[in-house]
Amino acid sequence: MAVLGQGAAHGACTLLHALGAGYGSSLGLELSTKVRLRDDEPNNMPEDPSNLLEHTVAVWEDAGLTRPARYLFWQVRSDVPTGVGLKSSAALSVAAIRALMQATEVELQDSDIVDLASRAQLTAGVSLTGSVDDSWAALTPGWKVVDPNIPAGQGVLLEGEFPVPDEWVVIIALRGDRELLPVPERFALASEQFQAAVNAIEQEDLLLAMTLNGRAVATALADGPGRRLANDMMVWGARAAGISGSGPAIVSFIPSINPTTVRRIEVTFEQRGIEFIETRVWSG
């Protein structure tokens, strides 16, 4: 066996849903995806139902970049849940591009990595917008507001660091598999709600933006249970809570100085049979 290259990237949560707001913004979390690129078949092939890895190699070659070997195989280790709105596809494609870079000794700008990852997700059919903001969050810490309709190097409109990441615990309610799929027309009906989230992020109130965006997504998806659970989490002590991506995951932020509140929310989830993850903001 020869390991040709390795790469890593992070999962993230949504601050602005690009389909509804017109602009996208995501925040990286301490959830990681690591890949190895090999020239022989591993014992356990990764689950990749959308063939995203294959599409990533294809866009790499379409960009005129060298394929490191005739036959390519992947190993994947990830703690980013798939298909729940926590940017697993962006993390996988970014990590794969980094492995291809190492295998071929090619240096790319971050914006080039984001463009390739976005193209791979579009061609694989795992994103309606290209998930440019998700790929940025998978690649770099902090937050960016991006225009998904122009190249990544020109599309960053606002950016910054998340203030004092160590002061927050992030609890994510997973709620099972995705059942509600995004319909662009329904997202347009919630445009005023999404605009309120845009206004909040322009003021760099990231937690308010996440909460308002999550409520707008709940409206667009007709996800009443998600809206109620996010509201409940805030009643239980979270400072912010909202649906991430197109769900079903709900992300909440709790001050780390309140471990009793953290435990109360987690015990409530356990009693209700809701699977959850405790993590932190990725600060690099």
pLDDT tens per residue across span 196-225: 999 999 999 999 999 999 999 999 999 999
CB atoms within 10 A of CB 218: 25
pLDDT band for position 252 (cuts 50, 70, 90)? very high
What count of other Cβ atoms lies within 10 Å of the Cβ of residue 154?
10
Pairwise CA distance, residues 152 & 121, whole Å: 14
What's the whole-number average pLDDT of the chain?
95
Q: pTM for this one?
A: 0.96
Q: What local confidence, expressed as pLDDT, does residue 44 receive? A: 82
Domain 3-160 matches domain 165-279 at the CATH topology level: no
Report how far residue 221's alpha carbon sits from residue 250's, in angstroms, rounded to the nearest whole number.
Answer: 14
- Residue 53 identity: L
**Residue 147 banded pLDDT, cuts 50, 70, 90:** very high
Is residue 180 over pLDDT 80? Answer: no
- Length of the chain (residues): 284
User: What type of residue is 111?
Assistant: S
Does pLDDT of 83 surpass 90? yes
What pLDDT is attached to residue 15? 98
- How far is the C-alpha of 181 from the C-alpha of 221, rounded, in Å? 7
- Fold of the 165-279 domain: Alpha-Beta Plaits (3.30.70)
Q: Report the pLDDT value the prediction gives residue 90, as an integer from 0 to 100.
A: 98
Residue 178 pLDDT > 90: no
DSSP track, 85-109: SS-HHHHHHHHHHHHHHHHHT----
Confidence at 176, pLDDT banded by 50, 70, 90: confident
- What number is the average pLDDT over the span 103-117? 98
C-alpha–C-alpha distance, residues 71 and 169, integer Å: 43
User: With pLDDT > 90 as the criterion, what percentage of the chain qualifies?
Assistant: 89
Question: What pLDDT is attached to residue 35?
Answer: 97
Span 229-236, mean pLDDT?
97
Phi and psi at 19, nearest 5°, equal -70, -30
HSE-up of residue 275 (Cα within 13 Å, Cβ side): 8
CA distance 141 to 138: 8
As a whole number, mean pLDDT of residues 62-82 equals 95
Cross-strand partners of 158: 145
59: closest CA among 5, 97, 17, 19? 97
The 8-class DSSP code of residue 281 comes to B
Q: Which of 267, 214, 272 is nearest to 237 (CA)?
A: 267
Instruction: Note the pLDDT of residue 1.
Output: 58
- The percentage of the chain sitting over the pLDDT mark of 70, rounded to a whole number, equals 100
Instruction: Tally Cβ neighbours within 10 Å of residue 223.
Output: 22
Domain boundaries, the chain: 3-160, 165-279
pLDDT exceeds cutoff 80 at 113:
yes
pLDDT attached to residue 284: 82
CATH of 3-160, one of 3.40.640.10, 3.30.930.10, 3.30.230.10, 1.20.1250.20: 3.30.230.10
Looking at the predicted structure, is the pLDDT value of residue 243 above 70? Answer: yes
